[in-house]
Structure 1
């Protein structure tokens, strides 16, 4: 069987931090939501700074409802908000930047692209340049004479950097302007503020991580001083999870800029990057959640106790005064005390640190996925390639191993390979593929402010499964720890993927409303990719599979019902690997018949030619040799069924091929068509020989 293509992740799109908080009275004001977009846009032109600020804040709130965004865009809200980024009133600047941040975050790629078309970059770049002046400590006295405090400047810069990040992620035009205007200098200056303003630094790090990805034009804007700024962040001891998150994102930017790093420093740089990723993955997020929730409870209890003490003191003082004035009524009742939740900041420290850890772990896993991925990954649906390709059309564009398998050109540099093993990255990735700690999930479920962390926990597991697939694709058995380590991994994956308990894939949490939680189909794709890569590796080394055929069938049946075509391709590939191993062993005829019927069903009924072709390819592998395979083929009437499939398969390629599938996919489909004809001839010859 051919190896599956490695997955690659793009940098996360849009601001992950909370949407901009609005002044009191705007968030819960029902009348505000009923104000017409036209009135608010007109108010942006008001001579009153207070009216302009309120209009910005109201728009910032309303655009969080995606269905309202078109009404504002139709009234050219971007061109009206743009000049307010340079308003003479600093609070207007901040709320205007906040409105644009929420608009770009909630509107998505299309809205961001529209914002660039409406020339938001001109005032945005100008604002950021003014902010850099305000951020310069040496200029602070001058700026103070203009009623511009350092804190105010940094708050504005935080909002503006988020807008810059969003539009650069979505628009090549914005990215081109970013490069031309050397905006990276502004971003680096904001990043350097991490000792005093972590929120600004993290926003800058997100932006930098995005704009450095696949951006060769930016390399000229970096010099030794720029790299030293990044290095200084990476070398600071991570005393908080927010610092760990910041370092992980900076490490991602350095990885994106690796072409600039001298060859003599490559090994040290890769070690520094992988050390940071390893440290992020070393923390057990479930246990950390339980620990931080305990800290939060202690802090809230202390706040409650302090409040009660203050209340008692006030009551005692009042009683004393009343007694002195002869006003004691014989009964003193305390005033109503606020619920303890009122003492908890909206973004409390414990919650913020846990969220930072989970972001760091997600980014770390995505980076490792990309490190273990080909430099030119394909977005093709079909991630399985024919194992018996003899088509001249494809041979020129393929790489083959000694067994004739088409392989994705995956490779690792010596520096990356060594650093991955030195920092025990495979082991730490394996650990993260486990389902999240059930106690941590329940703890988060019981607190509304912590509930969004559930989605982040599952996202980390999803990324880890994809990461595991790529690691298995690029590291040899010895590097992974040899046969014992693979058997241990197989048992681990059996517990994660095949169990029917509440922690199994059958109970994937579809009931959560969190937007970011991976869908069950996506989980099946990631899990089946990991299983597929493991079985391929073990089969290639002749190692026992350790995963039972019943488990394989259970997973595959779930995958073929998925709407995710990659999961369906993985399913038939897993079945093919299992069947080809069983065909060489004894007492497997019944299982081979089940496998054959399963693959025939997919070949005949799947709506995608890609999946049908992969199923046929698996049939070739399973029934190509062996007495038991021949017996099973006769029992399920494989020859007759394949003849029926052949005609329909050829017709679908002719009718749908060029419209629905890429050149590479058509190349492989042509191989399958050719191999199907040859395999039918082979079965006919076997049948003739078996007749008396």
Structure 2
């Protein structure tokens, strides 16, 4: 791990406060380099336990100064700083770069040894005294959180995890769920992360791991913390599905889907309101908290609000989103808030697992969801299935399990969350205000999940024509219910993807469309001003789907003309070739046939406009395409270029009639 022989790592003993015993000795430095006396380690450790946030900050800064100035302090002291102070936990809020720096500086070696020491001390600590047991488990809990953050952000950390045999230690912590749900949940978070897209680790999964997960799924505690624990265990079991013996595959799948179903059954609006009322009642009856406790709670909540955004990162060359949420580090006095956070995290995770069930490998945001309508598959060396995206795949067994547990209906219900009442209640309290973004994220994940289900199931499985029309009306109300279309890009991306899939299914079944021309134009206008490419792609696709349906009906020339003008504007002016191409593809569909389409095409001068656009589009592909877009995207663009030439020829024949 890059250490020299003279700096050989020695496994330390863990004392009652969690700091390695040899680190305590090292911290007993009599004099600092500037000649000033340092604070004795015992005094510093005592200050670390102070109820005053300021005193704890002083102790932390003092230890940090000693660590920075002394060449003999082992890595454990550094690890201790990361673990004991959530507000200084750089792995949680520093992003991928900080995590990779920590791994490069070999934090995995002392962290692995610390976790191993804690696990070895679980039973021996029980035999000695309760306080020591709690201290050991608390350190193990924070070590797991650090390990989870590192493995989520660093492929090198994940590689070390695989080689160092850390899976057994994480499972050992998971098995303590009957007595310490917080420790088990941290282990489950870590396990859920490291088992995703990690075939090297999955080779070492054995019956002990599977049995530990099964035991968690069979637990019956009703707290939101246990709900989150079971959800994470279900996600890990899904990641390990290939390791489940064939005779138990159906049972395992059933257990996973049943767990997700029970989680989604929970009425988050009602639970959050009840928890907030319970906190208010407790606060009225409880003695006043100290300034230190208030400061600590405020500091963590403030940090939660600052670090709520998801940070796009990459793991093993694949785009992933890493949530910088550190709400699991809330002070213990905020039990109701912790429970509320656990519920929202559980439901978000449940929805994400269902998406993974529907799709073997999510495409990145800048990849197209469908190929061009061209029949020139020979333009791509591998034909039309050349890998623009991994296909959405839903086996009969998975589909049956999802339908048997009414997952589509429950997912659709979650797209209605949250209510205005629960949003207002959370907004009124500074500690609960951070939950608003979490609630919106659950809604966005539900919309993304709905999109996946629509892409993998047929109309009958989703309730038939009436259910699809009702869903379309609901999605329209989400977008157009407010005074103006939301500028929340995450939500807009999710809802517009779901709407595209739904409208495509409705069109394929010849079910009447439900969006008015005014709504279409509002959606198009909002989407074309969005910075997210996939939002713009889906917006023009929706215009194309609706326009091609309307073009087959009588008396729709005016609306088709309006749609055609909007698509032509996007094809001409959007700065992204992918969006240009999607707009052209939509134009081909809208104006492919019919009297209404012919009339509208003449009114907007479509033929001369496309003739003028053709050389510009070809030049953009030649100049920008090779360096900016993937081979698969270029394949589609080449198909559209060919289709543009053919479509111009078709329009010329129509004009001559």
Q: Which residue of 1 aligns with 2:443?
A: 461
Answer yes or no: is 1:361 the counterpart of 2:353: no
Q: Which residue of 2 aligns with 1:28?
A: none
Q: What is the CA distance between 1:348 and its match in structure 2?
A: 2.2
Cα contact 2:192–2:235 (8 A) shared by 1: yes
Task: Sort the Cα spacing of 1:283 and 1:140 in 2 relative to 1 into closer, same or farther, 3 A.
Answer: closer
Q: Which residue of 2 aligns with 1:506?
A: 485
Cα contact 2:362–2:390 (8 A) shared by 1: no
Cα contact 2:195–2:236 (8 A) shared by 1: yes
Per-residue Cα deviation, 1:578-637 (whole angstroms, up to 9, x for no partner): 000001001101001101110010011000000000000000000010011011101100
Of 223, 234, 248 in structure 1, the residue corresponding to residue 206 of structure 2 is 223
Cα contact 1:383–1:569 (8 A) shared by 2: no
Task: Sort the Cα spacing of 1:80 and 1:457 in 2 relative to 1 into closer, same or farther, 3 A.
Answer: farther
Task: Sort the Cα spacing of 1:61 and 1:631 in 2 relative to 1 into closer, same or farther, 3 A.
Answer: farther
Larger radius of gyration, structure 1 or 2?
1
Pairing 1:269-668 to 2, within 5 Å after superposition: 269-303=252-286, 347-375=333-361, 377-378=363-364, 380-394=366-380, 396-399=382-385, 409-501=391-483, 506-507=485-486, 520-668=488-636
Per-residue Cα deviation, 1:299-318 (whole angstroms, up to 9, x for no partner): 233336xx9xxxxxxxxxxx
Take 2:625 and 2:37, find their aligned partners in 1: how far apart are those partners? Answer: 53
Task: Sort the Cα spacing of 1:50 and 1:566 in 2 relative to 1 into closer, same or farther, 3 A.
Answer: same
Of 639, 642, 645 in structure 2, the residue corresponding to residue 677 of structure 1 is 645
Cα contact 1:45–1:52 (8 A) shared by 2: no
Q: What is the CA distance between 1:382 and its match in structure 2?
A: 2.9
Cα contact 1:469–1:529 (8 A) shared by 2: yes
Per-residue Cα deviation, 1:232-274 (whole angstroms, up to 9, x for no partner): 0000113101100010011111011011012222221111111
Q: Alignment partner of 1:221: what SS?
A: coil
Q: Alignment partner of 2:74: what SS?
A: helix
Pairing 1:249-268 to 2, within 5 Å after superposition: 249-268=232-251
Q: Alignment partner of 2:371: what SS?
A: coil
Task: Sort the Cα spacing of 1:630 and 1:395 in 2 relative to 1 into closer, same or farther, 3 A.
Answer: farther
Q: Which residue of 2 aligns with 1:331?
A: none
Cα contact 1:44–1:52 (8 A) shared by 2: no
Q: Which residue of 2 aligns with 1:29?
A: none
Q: What is the CA distance between 1:478 and its match in structure 2?
A: 0.9
Q: What is the CA distance between 1:155 and its match in structure 2?
A: 1.1
Take 2:461 and 2:438, find their aligned partners in 1: how far apart are those partners? Answer: 30
Per-residue Cα deviation, 1:190-223 (whole angstroms, up to 9, x for no partner): 1122222222111111111111111111123221
Per-residue Cα deviation, 1:76-111 (whole angstroms, up to 9, x for no partner): 9699798252x6xxxx97545335970211211111
Take 1:482 and 1:381, find their aligned partners in 2: how far apart are those partners? Answer: 30
Task: Sort the Cα spacing of 1:43 and 1:131 in 2 relative to 1 into closer, same or farther, 3 A.
Answer: farther
Task: Sort the Cα spacing of 1:576 and 1:543 in 2 relative to 1 into closer, same or farther, 3 A.
Answer: same
Task: Sort the Cα spacing of 1:357 and 1:177 in 2 relative to 1 into closer, same or farther, 3 A.
Answer: same
Q: What is the CA distance between 1:483 and its match in structure 2?
A: 1.0
Of 140, 149, 156 in structure 2, the residue corresponding to residue 166 of structure 1 is 149
Take 2:459 and 2:70, find their aligned partners in 1: how far apart are those partners? Answer: 58
Task: Sort the Cα spacing of 1:43 and 1:54 in 2 relative to 1 into closer, same or farther, 3 A.
Answer: farther
Per-residue Cα deviation, 1:320-344 (whole angstroms, up to 9, x for no partner): xxxxxxxxxxxxxxxx999x999x9
Task: Sort the Cα spacing of 1:362 and 1:41 in 2 relative to 1 into closer, same or farther, 3 A.
Answer: farther
Of 162, 165, 175 in structure 2, the residue corresponding to residue 179 of structure 1 is 162
Per-residue Cα deviation, 1:341-391 (whole angstroms, up to 9, x for no partner): 99x976422211111100000000111111111346455433342112414
Q: Which residue of 1 aligns with 2:224?
A: 241
Q: What is the CA distance between 1:658 and its match in structure 2?
A: 0.8
Of 111, 115, 137 in structure 2, the residue corresponding to residue 128 of structure 1 is 115
Per-residue Cα deviation, 1:393-441 (whole angstroms, up to 9, x for no partner): 22624249xxxxx996222122211110011110011011125111111
Take 1:40 and 1:456, find their aligned partners in 2: how far apart are those partners? Answer: 47
Q: Alignment partner of 1:374: what SS?
A: coil
Q: Which residue of 1 aligns with 2:179?
A: 196
Q: Alignment partner of 1:149: what SS?
A: helix
Task: Sort the Cα spacing of 1:415 and 1:83 in 2 relative to 1 into closer, same or farther, 3 A.
Answer: farther
Root-mean-square deviation (CA, aligned residues, Å) is 3.5
Take 1:479 and 1:638, find their aligned partners in 2: how far apart are those partners? Answer: 40
- Comparing 606-615 with 376-385, greater Cα deviation is found at 376-385
- Comparing 647-656 with 347-356, greater Cα deviation is found at 347-356
Q: Alignment partner of 2:380: what SS?
A: helix
Gaps of 5+ in 1: 1-22, 24-38, 308-335, 401-405, 509-519
Q: What is the CA distance between 1:40 and its match in structure 2?
A: 12
Q: Which residue of 2 aligns with 1:32?
A: none
TM-score (norm. length: structure 1): 0.78
Q: Of the two structures, which has the highest relative contact order with CA contacts closer than 8 Å and spacing of 6 or more? A: 1
Cα contact 2:365–2:534 (8 A) shared by 1: no
Take 2:635 and 2:548, find their aligned partners in 1: how far apart are those partners? Answer: 24
Per-residue Cα deviation, 1:25-81 (whole angstroms, up to 9, x for no partner): xxxxxxxxxxxxxx999999987354488799999969x9xxx9xxx99x9969979
Task: Sort the Cα spacing of 1:497 and 1:59 in 2 relative to 1 into closer, same or farther, 3 A.
Answer: farther
- Comparing 354-363 with 192-201, greater Cα deviation is found at 192-201
Q: Alignment partner of 2:135: what SS?
A: helix
Per-residue Cα deviation, 1:270-314 (whole angstroms, up to 9, x for no partner): 11111111111111212211111222222233336xx9xxxxxxx
Q: What is the CA distance between 1:149 and its match in structure 2?
A: 1.3
Take 1:447 and 1:420, find their aligned partners in 2: how far apart are those partners? Answer: 38
Take 1:541 and 1:667, find their aligned partners in 2: how far apart are those partners? Answer: 30
Task: Sort the Cα spacing of 1:282 and 1:608 in 2 relative to 1 into closer, same or farther, 3 A.
Answer: same
Cα contact 2:175–2:184 (8 A) shared by 1: yes
Task: Sort the Cα spacing of 1:290 and 1:99 in 2 relative to 1 into closer, same or farther, 3 A.
Answer: closer
TM-score (norm. length: structure 2): 0.82
Take 2:624 and 2:33, find their aligned partners in 1: how far apart are those partners? Answer: 51
Q: What is the CA distance between 1:500 and its match in structure 2?
A: 3.5
